[in-house]
A and B are shown apart, each in its own frame.
Chain A
Amino acid sequence: MKHVLALVGFFAAVCTATTASAAEVKVGYLLPLTGGGAEYGQRQLKGANLAIEEFNKQNAGFTIKLITSDTKCTPVEGANAAERLVERDGVDVMIGGSCSPEAIAALRVTQKAKVPHIVPAAAATSITEEGNQFVFRIVPNTKQIAENLADTLADRIKVKRVATVFLNDDFGIDLNTNFVKRIETKGVKVLAQEGIERTTMDFFSTVAKLKPLAPEYVVAPLFNKPAAQLARTMREQGMTAPVSDTIMLTDEFHQLAGPAAFGTIQTTFFHPTVKTEIGRSFVDRFKAKYAGELPGNFEAEGYDAATLAIDALKRSGADKAVSREKVTAALRGTRDFPGVMGPITFDEKGQVVAVASKFVLIRNNQGKVEAMD
């Protein structure tokens, strides 16, 4: 038995040694590639692949091999996928976490194995609140998103009266509570707060209730289809107030809601019409690689996560030897890294600092959806 263990130890040592000195660094990416969140996963992967491809052409002393594993957006699969990448593939940096439950489960695995883990999308505030020294989230969390939306409406749009419609689950309640708290301190009246279930598909009575209150905006952080349904029902009953949403909406919403979406404003992380130089350049290179396709939030998340991982590897001296410890330290020391979704600086918990330039405000102007200045 002792011999067997020694043998295993020997092989493990050999394996680690070869990984460390090889010119190829393995980066793991946990994504929902099948199931309900598959679209998010597929789109992130496109952004990440662009970043890796660009880097591997540079002859920087090492190359990156991206290894993906499917999380199906569930905690069980998230943990399994992380286990596979850490144990079987021996990745030195992990990227991943689109749905919060999946991210939380995967982070337990990477934390135990001391693998630095970049979270590109999952928004639950708790992810960076549990003392994990290996987590680095590049997007604002639920609380930051809610507060930015409140600031935007109160300070930029200068609204005085709003009503909210939110999902009655962990995410929706967290978002709504933080939003209401923030916007009320700015003197904006919140006329009604209507929680809905994920299964709610008919908003007729809800709208009937909101209409006499005459809000200037109906703040509804919902997904595309329910949000479109809400906007259409508002027009059906003759309400003219636009909907305001945050990161969940994509172009699909504007197509589904048609004229009911006119005037909708939305805060998000990235939009193909952004005016920053780094953003424009990303859009151009993305279009060139993917036959004219336009990148959105998810593609930008994948791209920023991958470029940040590459940058941290470079700074930790990965061309000589890869050390998870050094990569973790390098990530921790990230200051104003130029991401396409705005600058990345981490606080002591590994949460990105939510400066205003992490957000872009987009508006549907009579059917044309574009970033506002």
Chain B
Amino acid sequence: MTEYLLTLLMSGLVTGSVYTVTALGLTMVYGILNLMNFAHGETYMAGAYFGYFLLAIFGVSYPIAVLGAILGAALLGVVLEMVAFRPLRNAPQLSPLIASLGVSIFLQNLAMLLWSPTPRMFQTPYVDQIVQIGVISMSMQRVIVFIVCVVLIVALYLVVQRTSLGKSMRAVALDAEAAALMGIDSRMVILATFAIGSALAGVAGALVGPILILSPFMGVPIILKAFAVVIMGGFGSIQGTVLAGFVLGITESFGVLVIPTAYIDTIAFVLLIATLLVRPTGLFAERVEENV
């Protein structure tokens, strides 16, 4: 029984770390632009495919493939910001939201056209390498997913809190106009935010791709979870997102004890509704005034 519970805990930590990293990208863009970017899931999908092609077609090693996926996803984010979102900067708030929906549908169909709707398996040497951690066994790939995600979460926190870029980001999030008056190039800051946020989605995709199955629609389930995490975490709060991401991952994992696997996806929304009932501003509502 302890073995079973520990396995579920590990599984929850791995899933939670992926939810967190994906949701962090989403929450960063939200914090700065008040934009819920629906296309974030497709950036995650693209990251997984970039990694897959680099490894399977160009034969580079897995770490290089992940790096490639990060760069590719960041580039995709920058292009999307310039083409789809920047022209709508002064439009009503609903317009960029709908634009992001459009981009999401466009990218799914583009992926179907370019890469065919047939699902693919992303094989890395680490998938079949089994490691024994105490009484439980899991693949090296899952361990890598967890470690890299945790490193990324810490790195992102440090970037936002300690660097001048992070300070500029927080300034733009507080008040873009005032930040611009203080000499901050808000366009560059927004671009950088999109690049970092998309890179996070891309790296998440390239990391979990090998333990999932790649398809042009793989971004849809993860974006729903990431939305729930962002809202639970209190829109734009890094600490809140991290907490909510891990809570969701672990709850889902232990959920199999009480409900059938097919209904696991409902947990995210039950948690979301429960959070909104108890704390309507999310777990960490530190910036609630800034966002209204």
A residues lining the B interface (CB < 8 Å)? 35-36, 165, 168, 193-197, 199-202, 204-206, 208-209, 211-212, 225-226, 228-229, 232, 235-238, 256, 258
Contacts of B119 in A (CB 8 A): 225
By CB atoms of chain B within 10 A, which of A36, A168, A193, A237 has the most? A237
B4 x A200 contact (CB < 8 A) = no
CB <8 Å contact, A197 and B218 = no
- Rank and list the top 6 A-B pairs by shortest CB-CB distance, nearest first: A195-B262, A168-B262, A201-B212, A208-B7, A205-B256, A204-B11
Seen from chain B, the residues whose Cβ lies within 8 Å of a Cβ on chain A are 1, 3-4, 7-8, 11, 14-15, 117-119, 121, 127-128, 130, 136-139, 142, 208, 211-213, 217-218, 220-221, 252-253, 255-257, 260-262, 264-265
Query: Quick one: closest B residue to A258, CB to CB?
Result: B128
- Residues of B within 8 Å of A232, CB to CB, are 127-128
**Residues B261 and A199 in contact, CB atoms below 8 Å apart:** no
Q: How far is the CA of A247 from the CA of B252 in the complex (A)?
A: 32
Instruction: Let me know if B261 and A200 touch, CB within 8 A.
Output: yes
A194 contacts B4, CB within 8 Å? no
The binding surface of chain B is classed by DSSP as: mixed
CB contact under 8 A between A194 and B261, given known A205-B252, A212-B1, A236-B137:
yes
State in angstroms the CA–CA spacing of A209 and B262 once bound together. 13
> Using Cβ atoms and an 8 Å threshold, which residues of chain A touch B139?
236
Q: Inside 8 A of A206's CB, which chain B residues have their CB?
A: 256, 261
The answer to whether residues A196 and B262 also contact, given A205-B8, A256-B121 and a CB cut-off of 8 A, is yes
Does the CB pair B256–A208 fall under 8 Å?
A: yes
Residues from chain A with Cβ under 8 Å of B264 in the complex: 205
CB-nearest residue of chain A to B257:
A209
B217 touches A208 (CB 8 A): no
B4 pairs with A201, CB closer than 8 A: no
Residues of A within 8 Å of B260, CB to CB, are 193-195
- Assess the B4–A205 pair: CB atoms within 8 A: no
Q: Bound complex: CA of A238 vs CA of B256, how far in Å?
A: 19
Cβ-defined contact, B7 with A237, below 8 A: yes
CB–CB B252/A197 < 8 A: no
Provide the residues of chain B in CB contact with A195, threshold 8 Å: 260-262
CA distance A228 to B213 in the complex (A): 10
With a cutoff of 8 Å between Cβ atoms, the chain A residues found around residue B265 in the complex are 197
A-side contacts of B220, CB under 8 Å: 199
**A237→B253 CA distance, assembly (Å):** 15
